[in-house]
Amino acid sequence: MIRNCFLGLLLLTGMTAMAQQKPAVKVSGEVTRPLTLYPENLRQMKRTTVSLKDRDGNDHAYTGVPVQEILEQAGVTTGKALRGENLSKYLLVRCADGYEVLFSLAELDSSFTDRVVILADESGGQPLPAGKGPFRLVVPGEKKPARSSFQVTDMIIRFAKD
Amino acid sequence: MILPGLLLLMVIMTAQMPAGRVPAPVTLSWPDYFGNRVFLPAGNPVTEDGIALGRRLFYEKALSSTDQMSCATCHQQAKAFTDGKRFSAGADGVLQPRNTMSLANLLWVRQLFWDGRAGSLEEQAVTPLTALHEMGQSLVVSAAKLQKLPRYRALFRRAFGSDSITGDRIVKALAQFERTLISANSRYDQYLQGKYQPSVSESNGITLFYANTDPVRGTRGAGCAHCHGGPKTYSDLFHNNGLDSLPADAGRQQITGQAYDKGRFRVAALCNIALTAPYMHDGRFPDLESVIDHYSEHVIHNETLSPFLQQPLLLTKQEKNDLLAFLHMLTDSAFVTDPRFSNPFNNN
């Protein structure tokens, strides 16, 4: 009886601990300021809306924070600083299911390209649906949406060292 | 009082021992199509003597509280390092909460266990060794027991350069042995190497495994490769494959605390799959036919179900047979009889 109560208590505290865990995106690696971005942080940053052709073949509008903005906040070499050896840096985006996609920093930088890749947290004024959100990378202009990955949890910046 | 003094003396003696010969490094090899995304920690290079020690420890029953159980009690070579049970009993007789996992091609696995909670084979090995309901013995006690057994001091010296037997070295040696468990000689491997001509059914099975059903283009597929894809029939991913509407085991969520990880488990490697029944983290399916039926018509919708399993496959009888023929191609008989992985105590 006592054991059962104890087990119940354990389960209960375990469950509340789980419920309290807020989703977040961690920015780490070659950064001067590692970041942990919660939903409310993203809402306070510079935001933009881009369009993406999804698997259904239709264009959908996504709103969120340009990846470049996030990299700048983390102190990653962007803009004028993106030259020399910094051109061999990459961003690895990791998702909750373990899926990973990679970009060279130049692919994401407004001094190299007009394409704006964003970390989206809403579409059509709504939070992203379960299974895709809360954070989705949106990479406009690609033939297939395989890098527009769901449930982003980590953005890791490193040097390619080979 | 005497014991600590003696221990100290032993420590000094080992520290002063001339560094014997350096253990010979081993270069592991695998087919190019496996890719080189392997996880080999710099702090534990694989050596001939380390592997030999690890193999012995894998089969060493003194590492359990009852002296009756080794890693190989649950991980039996003939069954691709599983034991055929739904839940294996620990040294104290209590059943494990999850089905025993097969051990093969672990070099490519970054997050071990069904929920991915261990980041290396070294870290992983501590759990079965010390968990109360598995082998149930602290690393300190294990090290002390090995000290008293013949041969181990010499084996540790050869593998690590000095006599000292520690928990850290035990798990390092085990990990080295496990890294050698490379399975790459199934009929599917032979087919990829151009050495085997698949039957019509096997060939259709391969196509179904990789393809998706697309009514517009008129293709039929089972879409398994989304998750189990590539020549290793393994990807380092976590998914909810629709076993339950309310998962009894929260799986990955217990590690991350995130609601979206509820009922997600690591995608299982399919190599040697015909030898590792029963299936899934809770061993609920007794055979591969039931697994295929599950994916074909019994996937249960739930809030974290993978986006790749939203449409029922509704495979025909023939398609099911073809897929089954493919899964049987993944059995590597050479791997499960390879003397390098067998019980070394049988030869003494």
Task: Supply the pTM of this predicted model.
Answer: 0.90
Question: Residue A152's beta-bridge partner residues?
Answer: A95
Exposure string over B170-185, b if 16+ CB within 10 A, otherwise e: bbbbbbbbbbbbbbbb
Grouping H, G, I as helix, E, B as strand and the rest as coil, residue B330 is coil
Query: Does residue B172 sit within a domain?
Result: yes
Domain count, chain B: 2
The CA distance from B258 to the nearest CA of chain A, in Å, is: 6
CB B197 within 8 A of CB B335: no
* Residue B339 domain-assigned (yes or no): no
Q: What is the mean pLDDT of residues A128-143?
A: 93
Does the pLDDT of residue B348 top 80, yes or no?
no
Give the DSSP H or E segment for A159. Answer: strand A152-159
Amino acid at A51: S
Burial code (b: 16+ CB inside 10 Å, e: under 16) for B216-233 equals eeeebbbbbbbbbbeebb
User: Residue B289's pLDDT is what?
Assistant: 98
- Residue B331 forms contact with A (CB below 8 Å): no
CB B178 within 8 A of CB B94: no
Tell me the pLDDT tens digit for each residue of B244-283.
999 999 999 999 999 999 999 999 999 999 999 999 999 9
Contacts of B257 in chain A (CB under 8 A): 17-18, 20-21
B18 with B128, same domain?
yes
Say if B198 falls within a structural domain.
yes
The answer to whether residue B282 sits within a structural domain is yes
What's the residue count for chain A?
162
Domains of chain A plus CATH, in order, are: 21-159 (3.90.420.10)
Phi-psi region of B185 (alpha: psi -120 to 50; beta: other; left: phi over 0): alpha
* Shared-domain flag, residues B88 and B167: yes
Q: What is the DSSP letter of B94?
A: P
Set of chain A residues whose Cβ sits within 8 Å of the Cβ of B256: 21, 96
Q: State the pLDDT at residue B142.
A: 98
Q: What is the DSSP string of B193-205?
A: TT-----HHHHHH
**Residue at a domain's end among B165, B182, B199:** B182
In a domain, B250, yes or no: yes
Residue from the list B237, B250, B260 with its beta carbon closest to the beta carbon of A98: B237
Residue at a domain's end among B182, B214, B232: B182
CB-CB neighbors (< 8 A) of B255 in chain A: none
CATH code for position B31: 1.10.760.10
pLDDT at B218 (0 to 100): 86
Give the gyration radius of chain B's Cα atoms: 22
Q: Are B215 and B300 in contact (CB under 8 A)?
A: no
B68 touches chain A (CB under 8 A): no
Query: B193 and B177, same structural domain?
Result: no
B192 and B297 within one domain: yes
| pLDDT at position B7 | 44
Nearest CA in chain A to B303: A130
Nearest partner of A77 among A95, A91, A66, A93, judged by Cα: A91
Return the pLDDT at A8: 42
> Which tokens hold the place of B188?
């599917």
Contact A97 B303 (CB under 8 A): no
- Percent of chain B at pLDDT > 70 equals 93
Q: Which domain holds residue B168?
A: 7-182
Last residue of a domain, one of B159, B182, B205: B182
Span A49-95, pLDDT tens digits: 999 988 788 899 999 999 999 999 999 999 999 999 999 999 999 99
- B127 to A7, B67, B263: CA distances (angstroms): 21, 17, 22
pLDDT digits (tens, 9 = 90+) for B52-99: 999 999 999 999 999 999 999 999 999 999 999 999 999 999 999 999
